[in-house]
Amino acid sequence: MREKVTILLILLVTLCQAECPIECFCDEVSICSGGKRLTLLPELHVSIPVARLELHDFLVEHLTSTTFLRLVRNITELRLTNNPNLISFDNDTFSTGDQSEGLGPTGSGSSSSDNESEELEGLLHLRTLDLSGNAFKYFVGGGRLKRLRVLDLSSNNLQQVYHLQALSSLESVNLRDNQLDVLQETLFQVRT
């Protein structure tokens, strides 16, 4: 009887560890490695103050602004790294609703989604955004990331970066290992 219980517990633990949870519950750091299987990003439980979230090796190809804003609620550090299928964000993910940003990361100029003022508050806390090791071709910065200090876009397929000057608190940008030929001089000039 004891052997059966032990085997059942081992199976249960193995099954529970097979996939990342849909809801992440933690008080400090949540690290989720999809092992190339995770196709949906976790939705964080609003009552738990997560400070840092790391999501690696998943199969998501596109992040909508609504999904992203829900994900970063009250987070100060977000690392979405080494996700080779992650090629784009919605055009308006990082910009405020009244800005017209031109081409978005997908180059499609997708339209803004409906009222996101509640989710927008979550971006006020984000200080570090690591998007390294993905497959982005474009990145459009914007006014939503008011406290962002560190931005890592290394090891993507970036061909163009737009509107970093809208990130008024930005102190460090990593653009190494991309396909950038030229950076516009105005890219780093802070708007007044």
pLDDT, one tens digit per residue, over 5-35 is: 566 556 555 555 444 444 444 445 555 655 6
pTM as predicted:
0.67
For 31-42, the pLDDT digits (tens) are 565 565 667 666
| Domain 34-188: CATH architecture, name and number where available | Alpha-Beta Horseshoe (3.80)
Which of the four pLDDT bands, split at 50, 70 and 90, describes residue 179?
A: very high
- Mean per-residue pLDDT, 58-68: 76
Q: What is the 3-state secondary structure (H, E, C) of the chain?
A: CHHHHHHHHHHHHHHHHCCCCCCCCCCCEEEEECCCCCCCCCCCCCCCCCCEEEEECCCCCEECHHHHHHHCCCCCEEEEECCCCCCEECCCCCCCCCCCCCCCCCCCCCCCCCCCHHHHHHHCCCCEEECCCCCCCEEECCCCCCCCCEEECCCCCCCEEECHHHCCCCCEEECCCCCCCCCCHHHHCCCC
